[in-house]
């Protein structure tokens, strides 16, 4: 995993960054073995300090994991989904998942920064 203060275009591996306003970014690799929600759960764990195996945390309390995985998974013909995102709150953190696999997590009481580090006008 990679952490940096500025956004760097991710490679095939998942890479993580913390932006200037404390926004945490991670990019999910749809070609990898993990589901999007697995990447998301680990990102939330990294930000909050709550272990993903802790019984006090379940993604089901905030979003339907199967629906989220299906929503942004590439189509059956391999075509990637574009221009979509889903935002929701987890313990006061604003979580936004984008169709390209980008995940942005804004801590509580932080002003929102750029919504998406890789695309203009989002």
Predicted confidence (pLDDT) at residue 119 exceeds the cutoff of 70 = no
- Average pLDDT for the chain: 77
Q: Residue 101 and residue 85: Cα distance in Å, rounded?
A: 9
Beta strands in 46-121 (DSSP E): 85-90, 93-98, 102-106
Q: Residue 114 and residue 21: Cα distance in Å, rounded?
A: 10
User: Could you tell me if 99 and 82 are in contact, meaning their C-beta atoms sit under 8 angstroms apart?
Assistant: yes
- Residue 74 has a pLDDT of 85
Predicted confidence (pLDDT) at residue 44 exceeds the cutoff of 90 = yes
User: Could you tell me if 16 and 71 are in contact, meaning their C-beta atoms sit under 8 angstroms apart?
Assistant: no
- Residue 56 has a pLDDT of 73
Please write the tens of the pLDDT for every residue from 59-100.
898 999 999 999 988 888 988 888 899 999 998 999 999 999
Predicted confidence (pLDDT) at residue 16 exceeds the cutoff of 90 = no
| Model confidence pTM above 0.85 | no
Q: Of 49, 52, 59, 53, which is closest to residue 97 (Cα–Cα)?
A: 59
Q: Return the DSSP state at 32.
A: S
Tokens (6 digits) for 89: 């709150």
Rg (CA), the chain: 14
User: Could you tell me if 3 and 79 are in contact, meaning their C-beta atoms sit under 8 angstroms apart?
Assistant: no
């Amino acid at each position: 995993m990679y952490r940096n203060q500025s956004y760097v275009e991710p490679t095939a591996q998942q890479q993580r960054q913390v932006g200037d306003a404390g926004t945490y970014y991670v990019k999910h690799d749809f070609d990898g073995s993990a589901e999007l929600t697995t990447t998301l759960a680990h990102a939330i764990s990294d930000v909050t300090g709550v272990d993903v195996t802790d019984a006090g945390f379940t993604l089901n309390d905030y979003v339907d994991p199967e629906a989220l995985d299906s929503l942004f998974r590439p189509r059956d013909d391999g075509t990637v989904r574009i221009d979509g995102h889903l935002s929701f709150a987890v313990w006061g953190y604003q979580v936004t998942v984008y169709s390209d696999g980008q995940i942005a997590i804004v801590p509580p009481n932080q002003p929102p920064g750029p919504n998406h580090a890789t695309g203009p006008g989002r």
